[in-house]
Structure 1
Amino acid sequence: MNPIDLLKSAFLGLVEGITEWLPISSTGHMILVDEFVKLNVTEEFWNMFLVVIQLGAILSVCVLYFHQLNPFSPSKGKEGRRATWSLWGKIVVGCIPAAVIGLPLDDFMDEHFHNSYVVAGALIVYGIAFILIENWRARRRSEMVAERPHGAHFAPGVTDDLAEKDSDFGAITSVDEVTYKTAIGIGCFQVLSLVPGTSRSGSTIIGGLLLGCTRAVAAEFTFFLAIPVMFGASLLKIVKFMLKGAAMSANEWGIMLVGLVVAFVVSLVAIKWLTGFVRKHDFKVFGWYRIVLGVVVLAFFLVIAPALGIA
């Protein structure tokens, strides 16, 4: 196995572990990184690797939320088990739009949209969307602060003397309060992530915010929604890889394993950080990051690269 390729794979796992959960597009970043960090692999393997590496990130959700997602937990009573099965039902319902629309378009999106220009455009467009949505939420919060009775609050555990610092508000303050209608609505927003650079987590978080979820609930439901979606997407890529008669070399096996392990470990940290961050801060910082990155990418490929003769 090539140690340089393993180091590159570890770097890609780091990028995946961070960007899978932050609303800045993991696939978009992976495509952009590939412009500068090239692996010595076949094109078929790279297309599969882009998706399958996300399994490492998804497994971190299964570990961190194992008790909440486990309907067979001995510490749960009848009501607890019923609530867990209901949550899984909403997760499955939320995945239906992506499955119905995404499966037929998978090959088309790979062939026509996996490039730096599409990624840059999506980064900018959804960066602007995050800023506009958070500004709208800020106005709504100001109106609600003025109208609410003394002692009321928006998020669980926030007392009146902390109310002015409470910026995470919404009608849906717990994942258990997400209805099937809201779940499928968020699932429809997830379809937007078929375009590289949009961000699966970003599109579902935007959907959750617009449908009345607090930022914490929107982020948490996004974590859960990723489990069947990414397991299904990974299985689809593996099957397509095998049907083409392709086989992984020893070097590619090593690259895949290193990428998965690093993505898993980094995701554990990223998820814990994000869940704490969104309770006290809005998503505008991610919106500005997306816009700046998108502009830099466009400038590089439209101006700098041609000037250097590398485009």
Structure 2
Amino acid sequence: MTYWHALLLAIVEGLTEFLPISSTGHMIIASALLGIPVTAFTKLYLVVIQLGAILSVFVVYWRRFFQSVDFYLKLLVAFLPIIVVGLLLKKHIDALLESVTTVAVMLLLGGIVLLFVDRWFPQEEPQEGGNPVTNPGFKEALLIGLFQCLAVVPGVSRSAATIIGGLTQKLTRRAAAEFAFFLAMPTMAAAAAKDLLDYHQEGIPLTLDQMKLLLFGNAVAFVVALVAIRLFVGFVAKYGFRAFGIYRIIVGGLLLLMLALGINLKLV
């Protein structure tokens, strides 16, 4: 992997981590188009640079992290389901990370769902006695965490799954998006730590150049995500999710068409 590859993948990660369009799916697509070889380090890089992106959440919402212990307990409750699923399905998840076809299908199906989300969960009507729900309880947090488990399949989008989970619990679009951002922090941190540990246990030492690539990728992802997260919250609160659904359908459809025409999109 070159620094040019690392830069492009980090930009893709920063732009897409908090959008409901699947950051992992887009990085897999970008890797295939760039012809980046699939190595143990490549897979590690795709996961670890997410740390840079999620750090932007703390920078943007730092005051929320000093409010109460209750905030952290709810995140823990929402975080637990993905730990169980991740440990049970780790090998299957790793195998799917090499499948552009899986990403294409999930982008298409997820796009269709997003076309109807605004209709299913309208924001105009007052809820809970006239007051919009902006803070989930423990039960709601657990259910949102269960929705997050759908994102172990590349192309589903962790952000989309958790936001929709929040909407099913009557959260506003903004509140659902923000809780999805907060939940990303322990989820992505755990995934990165697990991959780093597995990498170490396989006896593959990280070279100095590889460590520099990881630091570089995290820095780029952080800066790009810092901008993307601010833009996304305002956009989705005002316009909803339909535009993201259309985008996913177009990208997923184009990928399936390219695969049907025999264009090589497999990771090399």
How would you bin the TM-score normalised by the shorter chain?
Answer: over 0.9
- Provide the residue aligned with 1:75 in structure 2: none
Query: 1:217 pairs with 160, 170, 175, which one?
Result: 175
State the secondary structure of the residue aligned to 1:278: helix
State the secondary structure of the residue aligned to 1:188: helix
Aligned mates of 1:170, 1:10 — CA distance in 2: 44
State the secondary structure of the residue aligned to 2:84: helix
Unaligned runs of 5+ in 1: 71-80, 145-152, 155-168
Question: Which one-letter code corresponds to 1:251 in the other structure?
Answer: D
Stretch deviating more after TM superposition (246-255 or 121-130): 246-255
Matches within 5 A, 1:112-127: 112=96, 114-127=98-111
Distance 1:126 1:170, change over 3 A: farther
Matches within 5 A, 1:1-311: 5-39=2-36, 43-70=39-66, 81=67, 84-112=68-96, 114-138=98-122, 141=124, 144=125, 171-172=132-133, 174=134, 177-305=135-263
Deviations 1:48-104 (A, max 9, x none): 11110100001111222222102xxxxxxxxxx4xx210111011001111111222
Alignment identity in percent? 38
Deviations 1:148-167 (A, max 9, x none): xxxxx67xxxxxxxxxxxxx
State the secondary structure of the residue aligned to 2:121: helix
The TM-score with structure 2 as length reference comes to 0.92
Instruction: Flag as ranges the 4+ runs of structure 1 deviating above 6 A.
Output: none
Pick the structure with greater CA Rg. 1
State the secondary structure of the residue aligned to 1:56: helix
The TM-score with structure 1 as length reference comes to 0.80
State the secondary structure of the residue aligned to 2:18: coil
Aligned mates of 2:244, 2:211 — CA distance in 1: 34
Aligned mates of 2:262, 2:254 — CA distance in 1: 10
Check whether the contact 1:170–1:212 (CA below 8 A) recurs between aligned residues: no
State the secondary structure of the residue aligned to 1:247: coil
State the secondary structure of the residue aligned to 1:109: helix
Aligned mates of 2:131, 2:242 — CA distance in 1: 17
RMSD of aligned Cα (Å): 2.2
